[in-house]
């Protein structure tokens, strides 16, 4: 493979990411959330019976600390999430969905899943599984 082809592949993946985020954001507009907020809502919803910290969001969603901090502040102002301080370590907070967040999370998940399905509609199930397997081999 030529160097130009490798660079082009990286650019192609980057372009797909940019377009996908834009499409997800557009489709989530009716819910009043962004794709980052949607991902956090879904993560908290799936793990609603666990104590989730901001650090756990950073690690599991591959989001930087400042991004998570700002996103959580916005989500709190939208009445989607709330924090509870740890009883032992007063520096630690656990994040939970509000009733409104609990209601919105599955709707966001459905919109995001439908957006994904639309983006990958030209792939067979076998091709999609192969694509995921190949992309997971990329190590940086």
CATH code of the domain covering residue 62: 1.10.10.10
pTM of the model: 0.87
At 8 the pLDDT is 80
Question: What is the distance between the alpha carbons of residues 65 and 129, in angstroms, rounded to a whole number?
Answer: 31
Domains contained in the chain, number = 1
Question: What is the distance between the alpha carbons of residues 53 and 96, in angstroms, rounded to a whole number?
Answer: 9
At 52 the pLDDT is 96
Per-residue pLDDT tens digits for 16-57: 999 999 999 999 999 999 999 999 999 999 999 999 999 999
Kindly state the average pLDDT of the residues 111-134. 95
| Residue ranges making up the domain that contains 26 | 3-136
Q: Residues 27, 67: contact at Cβ < 8 Å?
A: no
Kindly state the average pLDDT of the residues 11-16. 90
Question: What is the distance between the alpha carbons of residues 117 and 111, in angstroms, rounded to a whole number?
Answer: 10
Question: What is the distance between the alpha carbons of residues 120 and 125, in angstroms, rounded to a whole number?
Answer: 9
At 91 the pLDDT is 84
């Amino acid at each position: 493979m030529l160097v130009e082809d490798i660079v082009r592949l990286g650019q192609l993946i980057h372009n797909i990411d940019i377009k996908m985020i834009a499409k997800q954001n557009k489709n989530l507009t009716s819910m009043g959330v962004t794709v980052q907020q949607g991902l956090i809502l879904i993560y908290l919803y799936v793990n609603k019976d666990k104590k989730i910290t901001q650090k756990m969001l950073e690690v599991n969603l591959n989001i930087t600390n400042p991004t998570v901090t700002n996103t959580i502040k916005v989500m709190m102002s939208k009445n989607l999430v709330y924090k509870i301080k740890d009883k032992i370590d007063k520096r630690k907070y656990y994040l939970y969905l509000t009733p409104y967040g609990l209601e919105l999370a599955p709707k966001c998940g459905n919109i995001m899943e439908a957006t994904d399905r639309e983006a990958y509609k030209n792939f067979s199930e076998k091709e999609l599984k192969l694509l995921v397997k190949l992309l997971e081999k990329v190590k940086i």
